[in-house]
Structure 1
Amino acid sequence: MPLIDHVEWTETVDGSRLRVYPTTAGRQTTFPGTDERAWREVLTESPDADTPGMRDQFICHWIWARLVEPNKTSWNLEPWRPAVGYQATVDARCNPGGPER
């Protein structure tokens, strides 16, 4: 059962953004290890997303955004955000380098 429905690249005033659309199963699963499985699904659709900062943003969304805003249509990952490590990404509410616009 897929965890990610699809992804799409868009352009914003700040730069490129990868919009990740989880499936219902992806939003609801609590099974250990599904974060890495879902990340691999993202990379299958968009191999150029494979950077440490993008991964940290994704895992942050996977763990925290699903709790805080479970029905958010997409999770937005931006390659221009600084790669600051996972904990600093969490501390920045998944958006290191400034809030989402």
Structure 2
Amino acid sequence: MALEITDANFEETVLQSDKPVLVDFWAAWCGPCRMVGPVIEEISTEYDGKAVVGKLDVDANQEFAAKYGVRNIPTVLMFKGGEVVGRQVGVAPKNVYTEAIDGLL
């Protein structure tokens, strides 16, 4: 299951991770986010132990959404070494996300 990422744990979970990190910025009211959600859950299972996969609810956690300029959701950011190394805005097929992670492993 994808980790719940919040403003409180973002620094430790995402920025200080020694593994690549995929963060899905989403909201409960967002239709396209509900399409991406199950894909993110699948990826979190498949990459367990190899990468960190999490979801950040932008309504409840606005600090890092604002910091990284997330204006449209869903937005998926890829992090490596505490830096953003990839961005996917809107719904994309699963392989777009898995190829991004594979490129960082």
Q: Which has the higher helix share?
A: 1
**Normalising to structure 1: TM-score of the pair?**
0.33
Q: Which TM-score applies when normalising by structure 2?
A: 0.32
Higher strand share: 2
Structure number with greater CO (CA < 8 Å, separation at least 6) is 2
